[in-house]
Chain A
């Protein structure tokens, strides 16, 4: 569907070069909800703006259904932007137009006859649940309602891809939930591929099927959400996913010892696996870190314990845990 090949974007400011995006290659398949997560300044926004050519990459290529979008100009570019629409952190609604006229804007651009356009606006407002606000102005709406209008507007041209640029970052947690549910619903019902840029783990966890971690303009790690979350390989990923995070001291620093990283999937999380093991094997475990997370709607537990000093204890423990169906990863000191 959407393929990025070695995309690089260099900005020149005050005579200095700065690579906002470095050599990024990604493949986003039809029907996915693809999350791109990274801290501020990681180049997420620049990257997503390349996908509808609001920015043009300095080098590399972007293909949609096998067709390069970098050479597009004029009418082709307009067609592209009707196929790949976008919603924004600050909603960017036309403040002087009513909700209905905001949603009608893309239809006006496409020259859809008025009666037909109005009918379509009605349908779209129904999809986002704002039929009763059609004649209100954006200033009269809450943040969540504004984003719903923006979503309806982005859907007006029947897009294949919806780009979400920090779409929930300006919203409170409750509203974020409802907007994410709406996006998931749209993805499922209309089969629209969604690309989400965010710095919030919760967003990735709740709805994304795939995720790429962006760090310093480059992809640090990517894959399905389960995979990336349970087998985080990159430093950036670990930072983001909380093995090493701001809230708990990094175990490496506190206890520079060999460790075992254990991940429980949804099935085992409700059982006292560790306690049972301790009782059965008589091996005491020193828990360094533990957390339970929601991931794509499923709950995952993760735990970091000190690797038992005695090698046979360690082996017994790893075998027993593996037998219980729990993933174990050895982390050296």
Chain B
């Protein structure tokens, strides 16, 4: 094949350009809030951050819990010591020769420790309250209040002991002998209080134990959390971000306009492919004109998509939908009526298979009449008819009817032109085989003219597409309406240009599809 190498290079460049354009468009889109891609990338990032944060939190919680457990142990041994001290104090009181002050000090220290431990646990509970359950919290505050109550009781006991010690120190033999019975009574009462204190301390000890159990529980929870975390991590590792997502993120992070690069590459490819003949001959380049349509379309779409992001993107998507919603049915129905009319115009023409001057000129005149009225006027003239036919004369759907009325005469003329291209000899041959007019129309005229008919259909469709720009006059929507509203009324020219570019791109797509179909349906040269 001639120029195979440069064709290949051109094609590769073009593909590369197209790929870059697409990546760039996605990247640009992902940087705009409101697009699905943006949301997806955002969610992925947030999930990663949450994963990292929760890992750190769990580790911290583990450390804190360990510290809390240590503190609880300390508190318990302090409480043990305090109890032992209390027991010793009671024994010393009973032997009446003990140093009550030391014992009272030790007891106070023990209580202080217990309280500190309780506070510590409480602080951890406060800090990681989302991790612990509400019951644990309650238990911890119960423990704290019990410890406070114990502290109060111990203080009372201490005051009594101090008084007793003071009394003992000030004791002289006589007074002592005289007050001994009363003192003994008071001592007995205080001893009873001390016994109560000891019970409170035992309860405090229980609470500390429960606090420790709760801490253990929290540790178990933390462990489970760690396990869950590693599981999540494993899942995350098993599903790494795809190449495309990474490329998108890369592009977004570095604000690289890949589509612009792609467009430049595509243009370079085009320049190669469309080089002037002389140059092409010198460099042995092909005149790859078919690629031109394609490349222009890709570039236009890329440009349109690049700018039509976020809110504008939604606007444009709706615009494209509305435009096609009017164009496709209107064209379809225009062919339902226009194709038979076109056949009628051809077969009744002079010298054709069923000459009928009267019918021919009547149909021809009606067609010419309708074709000569500009669409925007026809739209207004048909308001009442439209209301009857479509149920309403306002809105996107209602515009389909005037579009149809405007398009079918056009279709009839285009079809007429296509059918007139059919070789008269072939029609004569069909006649000579005994075909009826209907058979010639259906089996000869239309199939033989098929490539031309397809081409005509593409032309008709783009014409209808252009008419839809006037839909706004009847309350319809679509790209044309958007362009007029934003361009003319709001002076938002970017929106006008984007919607116009999309219109151009739609026309290109229709034309390319038409050309491809036409080529596929053409058996005359192969």
Contacts and interface: CB of A to CB of B under 8 A. Distances in A.
Interface of A: 52, 54, 77-82, 85-86, 88, 90, 92-97, 105-106, 108-109, 137, 139-140, 150, 153-154, 157
B447 A86 contact: no
Given A105-B443, A139-B524, A92 B426 contact: yes
Given A54-B432, A85-B433, A92-B429, 16 more contacts: A52-B432, A54-B431, A81-B431, A81-B434, A85-B432, A86-B432, A88-B428, A88-B429, A92-B425, A93-B426, A94-B426, A94-B430, A94-B448, A105-B433, A109-B434, A157-B433
Given A88-B425, A105-B443, A108-B443, A96 B523 contact: yes
A96 B447 contact: yes
Contacts of B431: 54, 81
B425 to A, nearest CB: 4
Given A137-B523, A139-B523, A109 B426 contact: no
B239 interface: no
B526 A109 contact: no
B101 interface: no
A78 B523 contact: no
A82 B434 contact: yes
A109 B435 contact: yes
A92 B425 CA distance: 5
A269 to B, nearest CB: 42
B425 A79 contact: no
Nearest to A137: B523
Q: Which 4 A-B pairs have the closest CB atoms?
A: A92-B429, A81-B434, A78-B434, A137-B523
B59 to A, nearest CB: 75
A157 B434 contact: yes
B436 interface: yes
Contacts of B423: 90, 92
A209 to B, nearest CB: 24
B129 interface: no
A82 B426 contact: no
A95 B524 contact: yes
A154 B524 CA distance: 21
Given A137-B523, A139-B524, A94 B433 contact: no
B399 interface: no
A39 B351 CA distance: 26
Contact of B439 (A94, A109, A139, A150): A109
B427 to A, nearest CB: 8
B55 to A, nearest CB: 69
Contacts of A52: 432
Contacts, number: 72
Contact of B444 (A80, A94, A154): A94
B525 A139 contact: yes
Contacts of A153: 433
Given A90-B425, A94-B448, A95-B426, A82 B433 contact: yes
A265 B423 CA distance: 46
B302 to A, nearest CB: 38
Given A95-B524, A139-B526, A106 B447 contact: no
Contacts of B434: 77-82, 106, 109, 157
B486 to A, nearest CB: 47
Interface string B422-465: 01011011111111100100011001101000000000000000
A77 B526 CA distance: 36
A106 B431 CA distance: 10
B433 A109 contact: yes
B45 to A, nearest CB: 58
Contacts of A81: 431-434
Interface string B256-290: 00000000000000000000000000000000000
Interface in B503-526: 521, 523-526
B428 A96 contact: no
Contacts of B525: 139
A79 B450 CA distance: 29
A85 B432 CA distance: 6
Contacts of A157: 433-434
A94 B447 contact: yes
Given A77-B434, A97-B447, A92 B523 contact: no
Contacts of A105: 430, 433, 443
Nearest to A98: B523
A137 B432 contact: no
12 contacts: A79-B434, A81-B431, A86-B432, A88-B425, A92-B425, A92-B428, A94-B426, A94-B448, A95-B426, A95-B523, A96-B450, A97-B523
A327 to B, nearest CB: 41
B433 A96 contact: no
A96 B432 contact: no
B426 to A, nearest CB: 5
Contact of A54 (B428, B443, B448): B428
A94 B521 CA distance: 14
Contacts of B447: 94, 96-97
Contacts of B432: 52, 54, 81, 85-86
Contacts of B433: 81-82, 85, 105-106, 109, 153-154, 157
